[in-house]
Chain A
């Protein structure tokens, strides 16, 4: 009996550290990533990408996409924080995985890298559709570009793309000099969807068609409406990268030099490795992840937060915003965070100034309207997590004894009353005692 309880205690002691190896509010970078492959040779043909991930501390778990023991959760707990699906031709996942469970995975706030390729199956297209990305319906179509291709290619399907999104958060501070090589399928985004974003777009001369057969009608997807790599940041800040080419992540394209047709610049190394590395940093929350402390407000000159404000009070407002640097929380520095004093519409909208240590503050006068207001901070910068903070506060009008005692414009009226009193006093004396 004693031995059994002691061994149980020992085992649980060993299991306890494992519980800390997942992402949490204090440490938002993902740790355990499931990599689904449809062919185990991808482990070696894409080894540079996986090695860079491992060197940054990720715990990669390689499985075949039709492995019958696949599971994302067990007993209600998710086993992985991130998912990489490099299985473009898989028709059905094994185990308990399907497009609904992957959609639930993203719904729980976890991240996904999905890559299609020239033979994308309906399953992969369905998952991409859930995330707002529409792959070309023609399953044999590829992106062809007769003016933006790499000169090492023969049939103009190896695109040298350099139309990258301008965002330091998504692609890092260093500019990607060399074009990114891409060979795969095109997808488009719904323009009304404001959660998806094109990271790598095709040039205006690109189109999506079958390279081995003659075109019978104009292609549906053309020009810069074609997106080669897109990202989606969901409302719960889960991040998804969808790429139309699996070869973009391969060692061969990482190492190859690139020269765009029609341009004299020849680059020793393509921009693929830098692009894939920076994108993976963004997707797994190593960059661009913000956390906000609570909103603090008080009257000028006080420190406590009052329960109610009066109209025309002067108040100070501050909020703390931190940015995750990959290892620790650093102060966030920006000059475009705004606060609204909101009741059905913003009565006051002010840009917060920062002290570069993470505190954003401003001060303003409560407007001359009473009611129940909210301090609202709605921050949605490209590539960063969306911050949506609010705090309610009522505003009351003047009490009866808070009005000014004497109104300056009414001094003549006060004077008239007093002169009337004095006149009456003098008149009564004069009238009674005149001779």
Chain B
């Protein structure tokens, strides 16, 4: 029983990994950026847990800027992903450059 569940977990992980490697490179770049931003936010939360929340304003600005840029990157990923036909959002321009420009302005 145990052996089969661990084998299932391994099979699951392998199938996810192979499916993910099939995604296009530009989406992978966006994913890396999101992971970097969230990781920076987590480091700051760990630091705050360590030394206390004295300059709480600084803590908030650090964490929220990281989380905000992660959220905007996810939005970009949604709009750029070719498999998302139902997400043809009402953007004025539909080419890649326009979408990226919107992301830049949002940040």
Contacts of B54 on A, CB cut-off 8 Å? 407, 409-410
Given A407-B55, A413-B55, check contact A434 B65 (CB 8 Å): no
Contact of B29 among A413, A424, A430 (CB under 8 A): A430
Contact mask for chain A residues 7-37; partner B; CB cutoff 8 A; 1 contact, 0 none: 0000000000000000000000000000000
Q: With a 10 A CB-CB cut-off, give which of A407, A410, A423 has the most chain B CB atoms.
A: A410
Of A160-168, A323-331, A414-422, the one contacting chain B is: A414-422
Select A412's contact among B62, B65, B103, beta carbons within 8 Å: B62
For residue A62, CB closer than 8 A to chain B, the reply is no
What does DSSP make chain B's interface, helix, strand, loop or mixed?
A: helix
Q: Write out, one digit per residue, whether chain B residues 66-107 have a CB within 8 A of any chain A CB (1) or not (0).
A: 100100010000000000000000000000010010011001
By beta carbon, the residue of chain A nearest B40 is A416
B23 an interface residue at 8 Å Cβ cutoff? no
Which of B33, B40, B58, B103 has the largest number of chain A CB atoms within 10 A?
Answer: B58
On whether the beta carbons of A420 and B65 are closer than 8 Å, the reply is: yes
Given contacts A407-B58, A409-B54, contact A420 B69 (CB under 8 A): yes
CB-contact partner of A413 in B26, B62, B107, under 8 A: B62
Query: Is B43's beta carbon under 8 Å from chain A?
Result: yes
Q: Given A410-B58, A413-B62, are A419 and B40 also a contact pair (CB < 8 Å)? A: yes
Is A431 in the interface zone, CB < 8 Å from B? yes
In the assembled complex, the Cα of A431 lies from the Cα of B37 at a distance in Å of 16
A192 within 8 A of B: no
CB pair B65–A417 under 8 Å, yes or no, is: yes
Q: Is B47 an interface residue (CB 8 A)?
A: yes
Main SS at interface, chain A: helix
Given the interface contacts A416-B62, A434-B25, A434-B29, does A428 sit within 8 Å of B100 by beta carbon? yes
The CA-CA distance from A372 to B54 in the complex, in Å, is 29
- Smallest Cβ distance from B51 to chain A, in angstroms? 6
The verdict on B61 contacting chain A, using a C-beta distance below 8 Å, is yes
Closest chain-B Cβ to A407's Cβ sits at a distance in Å of 5
A419–B107 Cα distance when bound, in Å, is 14
State which size class the interface on A falls in.
10 to 19
Closest chain A CB from B47 CB (angstroms): 5
Name B104's contact: one of A414, A419, A428 (CB within 8 Å).
A428
Q: Which residues of B contact A423 (CB under 8 A)?
A: 33, 36-37, 40, 69
Query: Per-position contact with A for B26-44: 1 when CB-CB < 8 Å, else 0?
Result: 1001100100110011011
Q: In whole angstroms, what is the CA distance A430 to B73 when docked?
A: 14
A residues in contact with B30, CB < 8 Å:
427, 431
The answer to whether A412 touches B37 (Cβ under 8 A) is no
Given A409-B55, A413-B55, do A432 and B44 touch, yes or no (CB 8 Å)?
Answer: no
Give B68 Cβ to nearest chain A Cβ, in Å.
9
Nearest-CB distance from A114 to chain B (Å)?
68
Q: Mark A388-419, 1 if CB is under 8 A from B, else 0.
A: 00000000000000000001011011101101
Q: A427-B29, A428-B100, A430-B29 are in contact. Are A416 and B44 (CB under 8 A)?
A: yes
CB atoms of A416 and B69 under 8 A apart:
no
> Which residues of the other chain, B, contact A431 by a CB distance below 8 angstroms?
26, 29-30, 33, 100
What residues of chain A lie closer than 8 Å to B43, measured between beta carbons? 412, 416
Q: Within 8 Å CB of A420, what residues of B?
A: 37, 40, 65-66, 69
A424 and B66 contacting across the interface, CB-CB below 8 Å: no
Q: Tell me how far the C-beta of B2 lies from the nearest C-beta in chain A, rounded to whole angstroms.
A: 42
A412 close to B100 (CB less than 8 A): no
Contact residues in A for B55 (Cβ distance below 8 Å): 407, 409-410, 413
Question: What 1/0 flags go to A241-272 for Cβ under 8 Å of B?
Answer: 00000000000000000000000000000000
Evaluate whether A414 and B33 lie within 8 angstroms (CB atoms) in the complex, with A420-B66, A424-B107, A434-B26 already known. no
Extra contacts, 8 of them, besides A410-B55, A412-B47, A417-B61 (Cβ < 8 A), are: A416-B44, A416-B66, A420-B40, A420-B69, A423-B40, A424-B107, A431-B33, A432-B100
In the complex, 11 of the A-B residue pairs with CB atoms within 8 angstroms, ordered by the A residue number, are A407-B58, A410-B59, A413-B58, A414-B58, A416-B44, A416-B62, A417-B61, A420-B66, A427-B30, A430-B29, A431-B26
Q: Give A contacts to B, CB under 8 Å.
A: 407, 409-410, 412-414, 416-417, 419-420, 423-424, 427-428, 430-432, 434
- Return the 6 tightest CB-CB contacts between A and B, nearest first: A413-B62, A410-B58, A413-B58, A416-B62, A410-B55, A427-B33
